[in-house]
Amino acid sequence: MVINLLSVCFFLLASTEANAQSRERSHYRVRTTRTTGNRNVSRKTNNQRNSRISKKQQSVSNSQLINGISDNTQSNRTITVNGISFIMVYVPGGTFQMGSNDGITDEKTISRYRRMVKEDEEVGKIWKNLNSACQKRADIIPNIVNVIKGYATHEKATIELVNEARTKATQLLQIINVEDFTEENMEQYNAALSELSSALNRLWYVSDSYTDLKADEHFKELKLKLEETEIEINKARDKFYEALKSYDSKDGVSDEKPIHSVTLSSFYIGQTEVTQGLWEEVMGDNPSFTKYGYNWPVEQVSWDDCQIFIRKLNNLTGLSFRLPTEAEWEFAARGGNNSRGYKYSGSNVLGKVASYIPDHDRRVARRMPNELGIYDMSGNVYEWCQDWYDTYRSSAQLNPVGPASGSFRVNRGGSFISSEKNCRVSYRCSNTTGYRFFNLGLRLAL
């Protein structure tokens, strides 16, 4: 489960060069069509709409959708908002077993990281080495950036890069020094590390233009120390990830238990995650950290943001979109009544169905769909659900919607920086309603 740092740095570096453009909208046009068999009933009505769709089309072609994997008699639905089209997949109701009973049984242990670091002496040493190496880097970077700053007193862009590198180093140290380090902290650590590496790479590129700086012996000494520290950090991280492999086979965690029977009525769910194109059409802006195109999933959106987006979309379409319940999400991710019992959504091999490190192209619907023709329910970005987070009950349930109140809302599916374990169809995660992160988005239900 070794994270490919270079790949993460690559796409984060590129993302800083992408800029979202605001666009004025005078009106919205909404059309609802149905797709049945191998025929799409919708028609393109004029050249202007053809132009918009060719530029921003995000829906998957009907031949991809059907492809012999879904024989539902009820139609899927194609919704078009001002040229942006998306497909809602019909999910026939049914009964399934929700949750997982595999693996860790200690109800008090929520995080395997916490357990390993505190209870395994060898892993504890590896963790201390990783902390120590990160502390060394945090001590070296301010000295390096101060030297660069001395040679670039009149270069505003360079000064900004210097300050960014210093800030990222401080953030990284704050993340890794939390007392109860969990899997979510590890994801934040990987993301912060990538951002720091990206900032430093840009800083080295700019600093090459300063001839006097390259000849500065103190600068060369500090840079060499930093490179040695990076090697030390990478070795410690590799050892830590190696230790995790023995725990990866123990997939289930305590909040996935007990397995319980759930019966659901039929519903619709988005064939893809909500894209940046659709979000921008409805909201007028793009909050995403990585702005690569209309067919990338929108991210850095909170549960509260999603509610505003859905209200506006409903006003535009006259429909009743919502977030899926946690039970609906898992049922759809498992393939509904067509489920073949896969570990991930559509396969037992994560790379076949998920945008996942080292894959830095996160356009929706690039990988294989699951049994219902739904894409990216494992990997890419976590997806908000409607429910408040709560522990499972053993009793059978009919159309569960979660508790009436709580502190955290559920999100599901793992992301492009998650461990493979977190991309399983039964894995649960939760955050406060105002939480935003660049690996967190949404999928619509109807």
pLDDT tens track for 383-435:
999 999 998 988 999 999 999 999 899 999 998 888 788 899 999 999 899 98
Q: Is the model's pLDDT at 207 over the cut of 50?
A: yes
Extract the runs of DSSP E, i.e. beta strands, from 57-176.
Answer: 76-81, 84-91, 94-98
For the segment 42-48, the average pLDDT, to the nearest whole number, is 34
CB 344, CB 350: distance < 8 Å: yes
Q: Is the model's pLDDT at 291 over the cut of 70?
A: yes
Q: Is the model's pLDDT at 444 over the cut of 50?
A: yes
Q: Is the model's pLDDT at 275 over the cut of 90?
A: yes
> Which pair of structure tokens corresponds to residue 328?
């609906």
Model confidence band, residue 351 (pLDDT cutoffs 50, 70, 90): confident
Quote the CA–CA distance of 214 and 206 in Å, as a whole number: 11
Quote the CA–CA distance of 346 and 374 in Å, as a whole number: 9
* Overall fold of domain 5-103+255-441: paralog of FGE (formylglycine-generating enzyme) (3.90.1580)
Contacts of range 339-345, beta carbons closer than 8 Å, 24 or more positions apart? 339/96, 339/371, 340/371, 342/370, 342/425, 343/251, 343/424, 343/425, 344/378, 344/379, 344/423, 344/424, 344/425, 345/370, 345/374, 345/376, 345/377, 345/378, 345/413, 345/425
> Which pair of structure tokens corresponds to residue 194?
């990538």
Structural domain spans, the chain:
5-103+255-441, 112-248
pLDDT of residue 290: 83
Tens of pLDDT, residues 113-149: 555 555 566 667 777 777 777 777 777 877 877 787 7
Q: Is the model's pLDDT at 6 over the cut of 80?
A: no
Burial (CB count <10 Å: 0-12, 13-18, 19+), residue 243: middle
Lowest average pLDDT, out of 100-109, 135-144, 267-276, 329-338, goes to 100-109
Buried b (16+ CB within 10 A) or exposed e, 115-153: bbbeeeeebeebbebbbebbebbbebbeebbebbeebbe
CB 105, CB 255: distance < 8 Å: no
Model confidence band, residue 438 (pLDDT cutoffs 50, 70, 90): confident
* Overall fold of domain 112-248: de novo design (two linked rop proteins) (1.20.1440)
pLDDT of residue 37: 33
pLDDT of residue 39: 30
Model confidence band, residue 41 (pLDDT cutoffs 50, 70, 90): very low
Q: Is the model's pLDDT at 82 over the cut of 70?
A: yes
Bigger pLDDT: 66 vs 76: 76
Quote the CA–CA distance of 272 and 279 in Å, as a whole number: 13
pLDDT of residue 2: 34
Burial (CB count <10 Å: 0-12, 13-18, 19+), residue 374: buried
pLDDT of residue 237: 67
Q: Is the model's pLDDT at 307 over the cut of 90?
A: yes
Quote the CA–CA distance of 385 and 322 in Å, as a whole number: 9
For the segment 33-51, the average pLDDT, to the nearest whole number, is 34
Quote the CA–CA distance of 32 and 48 in Å, as a whole number: 18
Quote the CA–CA distance of 194 and 191 in Å, as a whole number: 5
- Residue 258: asked if its preceding bond is cis (omega within 30°), the reply is yes
Q: How many helices and strands (H and E) does the chain possess?
A: 13, 12
Average per-residue pLDDT for the chain: 74
Q: CA-based Rg of the chain, rounded to a whole angstrom? A: 24
Q: What is residue 200's three-state secondary structure?
A: helix
Q: What percent of the chain has pLDDT over 90?
A: 36
Q: Is the model's pLDDT at 280 over the cut of 90?
A: yes
For the segment 28-54, the average pLDDT, to the nearest whole number, is 35
Q: Which residue has the tokens 């700086």?
A: 213
pLDDT of residue 177: 62
Tell me, what DSSP letter sits at residue 362? -
- Report CA torsion sign: 63, 338, 297, 329: positive
> Of all residues in the chain, what percent are helix, strand and coil, respectively (each to 5)?
45, 15, 45
Lowest average pLDDT, out of 67-76, 218-227, 305-314, goes to 67-76
Q: Is the model's pLDDT at 266 over the cut of 50?
A: yes
pLDDT of residue 109: 31
CB 362, CB 297: distance < 8 Å: yes
Neighbour tally for 202: CB within 10 Å: 17
For the segment 282-306, the average pLDDT, to the nearest whole number, is 92
Bigger pLDDT: 79 vs 251: 79
Q: Is the model's pLDDT at 104 over the cut of 70?
A: no
Q: Is the model's pLDDT at 9 over the cut of 70?
A: no
pLDDT of residue 101: 65
